Amino acid sequence: MKRYQVVGIGNAMVDVLWRAPEGFLERHGVEKGIMEMIDMDRAVELYAAIGAAKEVSGGSAANTIAGIAALGGRTAYVGKVKADQLGEIFAHDLRAQGTVYETPPAPPDHPAQTGRCIVLVTPDGERSMNTYLGVNDFLTPADIDESMMAEAEWIYLEGYRLEGSDCAATFAKAIRAAKTAGGKVSVTLSDPLCVERHRESFRRILKDHADLLFCNRAELLSMYETEDFGAARAAAARDVRMVACTDSGGGAHVLTAGGAVHVPTDPVDVVDATGAGDMFAAGFLWGLCEGRDPETCARMGNAAAGEIISHMGARAEADLTGLFGEKGLLRGRGGPG
């Protein structure tokens, strides 16, 4: 048995969550529903404009890893914070749930700060993310511990990481170490505009390395430069052995050699969509690691995502294992799998 079920690599972020009135986005030039990269000046400007906020640990892959850890999975994470207060909060919140997190922080005199994401949650539950990368941009191949990657059943690569410099080499080192030891590679497309900016890098990862692709509809359409969702899914299935594509309230599509499965979602009042995709990936990956079939994995993904969108913040508040049990997703407790 490998030491880790899933090792995630991504941008380490502290989220600054604020409920924004609908007009705020337009007044401040924020595009709804996507992730935008901002510099420190813009971060300061936006922060000055928002009201009293909540600070919670975030980061897409870190959310996924925290979700798997909350389900009892064996996890590790690689991502760069600074040795400052927000960096300590990020590290604490990951380790507190049992995730191994050993990436050396940038020193206190580093000019950049721990990354943060100003998340504007509008009354419709949609989130618009404004990301200051900070020291994440200084994650290098030297931060990839090959022996850790070799101990991973799955590595999980966050697409957002491609926004940073030196990412191709970092991912390449991780992929090589994991694959050499018989591990598998999963990747998430993260964001349609991120795909737009880094389509060639994504294409290489998908065609050459990925065993499992996570995405949502908008990201997949962007990836394959089409408006035809069915055609995009078919193209993805040709590139990657297993594809798990979410479609908001339209449920999840899982494509494998065994065919395509569509798994609808239960209706949920969306309080805050932040982290829905991350938690879908958490539930799905945990299911895979526990040897469950793709449909059950997707149901687990949907259940975990449903929990996260029912409250503010991208980390689980409810007992996910209990939730899975209630939905009949656990073995020996009336589950079908």
> Contact between 51 and a copy of itself (CB under 8 A)?
yes
CB neighbour class for 266 (10 Å; exposed up to 12, middle 13-18, buried from 19): exposed
Sequential DSSP letters for 232-264:
HHHHHHHH-SEEEEEBTBT-EEEEETTEEEEEP
The piece of 149-157, 173-181, 256-264, 312-320 that touches a copy of itself (CB under 8 A) is 312-320
CB of 220 vs a copy of itself, minimal distance in Å: 31
**Considering only residues 23, 41, 52, 200, which one is a binding residue for a copy of itself as defined by CB under 8 A?**
52
> Contact between 71 and a copy of itself (CB under 8 A)?
no
d(CA 67, CA 88): 19
> Contact between 313 and a copy of itself (CB under 8 A)?
yes
CB of 84 vs a copy of itself, minimal distance in Å: 6
106 secondary structure, DSSP code: B
Window 1 to 30, contacts with a copy of itself (CB under 8 A): 19
> Contact between 85 and a copy of itself (CB under 8 A)?
yes
Query: Binding pattern to a copy of itself, positions 244-263, x when CB under 8 A?
Result: --------------------
Query: Binding pattern to a copy of itself, positions 267-306, x when CB under 8 A?
Result: ----------------------------------------
At 288 the three-state DSSP class reads helix
How many residues contact a copy of itself, by CB under 8 A? 25
CB of 9 vs a copy of itself, minimal distance in Å: 20
30 secondary structure, DSSP code: P
CB neighbour class for 2 (10 Å; exposed up to 12, middle 13-18, buried from 19): middle
> Contact between 206 and a copy of itself (CB under 8 A)?
no
CB of 70 vs a copy of itself, minimal distance in Å: 9
The residues, any chain, with a CB within 8 Å of residue 285's CB and separated by 6 or more, are 5, 6, 64, 68, 73, 154, 156, 186, 212, 297
d(CA 129, CA 263): 28
The residues, any chain, with a CB within 8 Å of residue 210's CB and separated by 6 or more, are 185, 186, 187, 239, 240, 241
- Determine how β-strand 100-101 pairs with β-strand 4-9: unpaired
**Considering only residues 34, 83, 89, 268, which one is a binding residue for a copy of itself as defined by CB under 8 A?**
89
Window 98 to 127, contacts with a copy of itself (CB under 8 A): 113
The piece of 87-95, 165-173, 220-228, 245-253 that touches a copy of itself (CB under 8 A) is 87-95
CB of 102 vs a copy of itself, minimal distance in Å: 16
Q: How far apart are the first and last CA of the chain?
A: 22
CB neighbour class for 207 (10 Å; exposed up to 12, middle 13-18, buried from 19): exposed
Binding site for a copy of itself (CB under 8 A): 19, 47-48, 50-57, 66, 84-86, 89, 92-94, 96-97, 113, 313, 315, 317
